[in-house]
């Protein structure tokens, strides 16, 4: 009985800690004209429906896989788990509906490095530093 109560409490605390995380922190290369996006815009971009920025520059995707924040991003923004999202992109690639797939990076530092060097890049980032490196800007998410 005590073990079940402890397991229930641990599960509840995990759910509460995940649900209290921010839904999405998004960074882009500084060349992007956009300063804000809606959650729907994020879905269109991260599912490959919207492939170019306002100025016609191609969008490249990356996702920071580090931390519980990634789980929240997949679930709350993309309405998929990690495996289903990767499978979606693999199917798009092999059916000829996509020429590239998102880059999956394992640290926020790698995300910042990638975005700073890659024009058109947009990335979900798990941990946003107080000061962004040159070439990177944060996108405000509105609904």
Residue 66 falls inside a structural domain: yes
Over residues 26-34, mean pLDDT: 95
CA distance to 39, 45, 104, 123, per residue, from 111 (Å): 20, 17, 9, 7
pLDDT value of position 23: 59
Domain that holds residue 84: 23-142
Structure tokens at 11: 């599960």
- The answer to whether 69 and 126 have CB atoms below 8 angstroms apart is yes
Q: Please state which of the ranges 15-24, 83-92, 132-141 shows the lowest mean pLDDT.
A: 15-24
Residue 92 falls inside a structural domain: yes
Residue 17 falls inside a structural domain: no
Q: What value does the mean pLDDT of the chain take?
A: 86
- CA–CA dist 13, 110 (Å, integer): 30
pLDDT value of position 1: 53
Over residues 113-136, mean pLDDT: 96
Pick from 9, 15, 28, 1: which is nearest to 141 by CA? 28
Q: Please state which of the ranges 23-32, 58-67, 117-126 shows the lowest mean pLDDT.
A: 23-32
- CA–CA dist 56, 51 (Å, integer): 9
Residue 4 falls inside a structural domain: no
Residue 18 falls inside a structural domain: no
Residue 15 falls inside a structural domain: no
Q: What domain count does the chain have? A: 1
Over residues 40-47, mean pLDDT: 96
The 10 Å Cβ neighbour count of residue 29 is 22
Model's pTM, two decimal places? 0.82
The 10 Å Cβ neighbour count of residue 59 is 18
- CA–CA dist 49, 135 (Å, integer): 25
**The domain that contains 110 carries what CATH number?**
3.40.190.10
Residue 3 falls inside a structural domain: no
Residue 16 falls inside a structural domain: no
* Dihedral (Cα; 95, 26, 37, 78), 10-degree rounding: 40
């Amino acid at each position: 009985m005590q073990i079940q109560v402890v397991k229930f409490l641990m599960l509840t605390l995990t759910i509460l800690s995940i649900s209290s995380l921010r839904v999405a922190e998004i960074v882009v290369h500084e060349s992007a004209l956009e300063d804000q996006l809606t959650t729907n815009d994020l879905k269109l971009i991260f599912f490959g429906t919207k492939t170019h920025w306002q100025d016609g520059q191609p969008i490249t995707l990356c996702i920071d896989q580090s931390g519980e924040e990634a789980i929240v991003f997949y679930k709350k923004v993309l309405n998929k788990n990690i495996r289903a999202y990767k499978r979606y992109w693999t199917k798009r690639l092999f059916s000829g509906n996509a020429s590239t797939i998102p880059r999956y990076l394992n640290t926020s530092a790698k995300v910042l490095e990638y975005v700073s060097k890659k024009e058109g890049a947009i990335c979900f980032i798990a941990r946003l530093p107080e000061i962004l490196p040159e070439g990177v800007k944060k996108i405000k998410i509105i609904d």
